Chain A
Amino acid sequence: MTFLSTIKAAALSAAMIVSVALPAAHADEQYFPLQSYRVGPYAAGGTGFFGGFIDYLNLINIRDGGVNGVKLTWDECETQYEVERGVECYERQKSHAGAAAWNPLSVGIAYAMIDRITADKVPLITVNHGRTDSTDGRVFPYVFPLLLNPYSETSGIVNYIASKEGGIDKLKGKKIVVLYHGSPYGKETIPIYELLAQKYGFTVQQIEVPHPGNEQQSQWLTIRRAKPDFVVLRGWGVMNPVALKTAVKVGYPVDHIVGNVWSNSEEDVIPAGDAAKGYTAITTQASGNSYPVVQEIVKTVYDAGKGNLEDKSRIGSVYHNLGIVNGILNVEAIRVAQEKFGHRTLTGDEVRWGFEHLKLDPAKVEALGAKDLFHSINVSWDNHEGEGYVTFQQWDGKKWNVVSDWIAPDWALLRPIIEKSAEAYAAEKGIKLRTADDADAVTTN
């Protein structure tokens, strides 16, 4: 009989848990459709980034019970970084109510989604990447290349090279090779390098590495012949370690290779072994797990067995931290919008308003436990990037060490180019330029 009574007790307690849990299920929820990729050539980036993003959402749910009581939910749809899979996922996930924002982490998928999300009025976040001219909120109301668009990144890298050479005027006559990934993402910066080369008087040679980039012998032989002063590595996934290894093979010094923001992770340098020692790369968010927010994730999420990364040694890696920063930006945008529209499930358009008023100064960043993890952000209705700062880190064979201060890209120089490109797009598509008043008109249901 004891057995039966045990079962009975268990059933009773289960019923009680269900009855307690039920009202919670009816509470307000905000949903994140995650078009993630955990298989394929870019799985390292996908698992790290989405792992960090999910870990942060989990932290908010467990520690704070959601954002002002609104629980965060999400589900994943595998894209393998392929455009048509991303589109299928979009169509699949958009029927879910209460979508806050899309974060596909793929330029190709983001491009295919611009018309769709604009019609559906849900923001599309392309943190640290994306289509540069979507920075112009007058033309792209729902697209946010947060923290760092590709042009700002380019400007940051060129300024860093200038500082290594002893000043921006020393760039004259120098030669820079850009080795870029053969994808929409890789090609995005071709015109801006040409333009900066003209402006500062250096020569630039841009060489494509076909996707996925696991064979680069001929490209690096070309580089050896060209004898550039610096090589900018604009890679992604497996292309990066292969580039570093091939550079050693052809005898190009690794400390003259500067990685861009998608060539800056542990997964890019560890497989290259010793070849990566001394390699420098740009970043918007430092790596390491000493930051309070990362510590809280370890304590609250991982110690409760709810962590998303299978390999715990990746906690605090570059991609994981980027996912956490992306989580902070998304959650804070919801918080901003909730203060305006109420503590409830928000519409996509309300979240868009939240992103357009997302202002995190260094003090606020510190309050969020992310001091030195990233610098600050200041998004407005017409500047969807938000003036993120960059820093440079060098790989010593075991970990990344920060080797520069927080640097501001040359926004004043870039803004007219971005506006010109966005206006051309608007003219081609027959889009009327948005004004500040239009930005304040929000669809609330």
Chain B
Amino acid sequence: MTAITSDFSSAPVLPKWVVPVLLLAFAYGVVPLIGSSYLFEAILLPFLALSLAGVGLNILTGYAGQVSLGSAAFMAAGAFAAYNFNLRIEGLPLIGSIFLAGIVAAAIGIAFGLPSLRLKGFYLAVSTLAAQFFVQWALTKFSWFSNNSASGVMDAPRLSISGFALDGAIGRYLFALTIVSVLTFLAHRLVSSQTGRNFIAIRDNETAARIIGIPVLKTKLLAFAISSFIIGVAGVIWAFAYLRTVEPDGFDLDRSFQILFIIIIGGLASIRGAFFGAALIVVFPLVLSRLGGFLLGDLFDSGVLDMSQRIVLGALIILFLILEPDGLVALWDRIRRRLLFAWQST
């Protein structure tokens, strides 16, 4: 497991809050003015949803050391819960249904987190698979969840906050960005709090943590709850703001693996890592595919191109991990330190 030092070793020249604030200012102030609908619909919205899911999983896996393969199930739980709250409770504001959806996901997370009290590592990963299969099965089996829709697919409700419609691409982007920023900030505060340190203590040595008086059972379940809450809300963003349909098949095991890869590639136990990882997983294949289509589209059909993109992507991921096993965050910090050093020594 990675040490958490990378989060505390930011550059000596600037206060820690400057970079995030600048980034947010850019995301709110500049991006909506210059972005095309493709940028919002195909890149930024899935990026934001998966980043948030990565942040959630990183709390559980990166900080608290509990490996989970059930992330997509918690996303599905969040998305379907928000859909049903919105549908069935008259007058509940959208934010209310999203919050309740997070609570539902957290409850399911606690239930499936119980085995973590006895199981560790791979065994826990396998038992979280149960969540993955159970949730998908339940959502497919009981058509009540999908409001008895014939095909099991529902249309997400229109997004609006206190009467202000957010249906356009930019509106949905700002909606997602706000939720992601708030939850990421809270997650950042959490991991530097006493609770966050308890998570790390349990990850690094459970017996030692128990001896110094950390309530292991409570802390583990708390990690499952918080992580599932965040992932559940990410599921709502995925379904409501990005795809605008809700269907169980979109939350399959592949999605769980995708989120796990995001945090492994981005950097375990790092909030920023989830964003780096999501950028690589979401944006990079698109860049490759557009580049491939642009350069070689006339020579090969799209199937051949798609296959070769997978090979390139796989090779690059292996390369990244060999160069920097601690993830893109560590790579980024190393590059930044070198640059700073070069700049200071001139």
Contacts and interface: CB of A to CB of B under 8 A. Distances in A.
Interface residues of B, number: 31
Interface string A96-113: 000000000001100110
Contact of B306 (A38, A107, A211, A308): A38
A416 interface: no
Interface string A75-118: 11110100110011001100100000000000110011011100
A108 B155 CA distance: 11
A266 interface: no
B252 to A, nearest CB: 8
Interface stretch (B12-20, B146-154, B210-218): B146-154
A204 to B, nearest CB: 15
A111 B243 CA distance: 10
Interface stretch (B35-43, B198-206, B264-272): B35-43
A429 B301 CA distance: 39
Interface in B284-314: 286, 289-290, 293, 297, 301-307
Contact of A91 (B37, B140, B244, B247): B37
Interface stretch (A56-64, A184-192, A337-345): A184-192
Nearest to B306: A78
A301 to B, nearest CB: 15
A238 B121 CA distance: 35
Given A91-B37, A91-B38, A95-B38, A187 B302 contact: no
A194 to B, nearest CB: 11
Interface string B218-259: 000000000000000000000000111101011000000000
A428 B154 CA distance: 11
B38 A108 contact: no
B247 A184 contact: yes
Given A39-B303, A78-B305, A78-B306, A84 B46 contact: yes
A112 B45 CA distance: 15
A300 interface: no
Interface in B126-175: 140, 150-153, 155
B250 A83 contact: yes
Nearest to A88: B42
A383 interface: no
A208 interface: yes
A330 interface: no
A84 B250 contact: yes
Given A75-B297, A76-B301, A429-B155, A112 B38 contact: no
A271 B47 CA distance: 40
B152 A187 contact: yes
Contacts of B46: 84, 88
Nearest to B307: A39
B306 A108 contact: no
Contact of A92 (B38, B140, B244, B301): B38
A188 B155 CA distance: 15
A128 interface: no
A92 B151 contact: no
Contacts of A83: 243, 245, 247, 249-250
B303 A184 contact: no
Given A91-B37, A91-B38, A115 B155 contact: yes
Interface of A: 36-39, 43, 47, 75-78, 80, 83-84, 87-88, 91-92, 95, 107-108, 111-112, 114-116, 131-132, 182-185, 187-191, 208, 211, 308, 421, 428-429
9 contacts: A76-B301, A78-B302, A78-B305, A84-B243, A88-B286, A184-B152, A188-B150, A190-B150, A429-B155
Given A95-B36, A115-B244, 15 more contacts: A37-B303, A39-B306, A75-B297, A77-B293, A78-B289, A80-B306, A83-B243, A111-B155, A111-B247, A115-B155, A182-B140, A182-B249, A184-B152, A185-B151, A421-B150
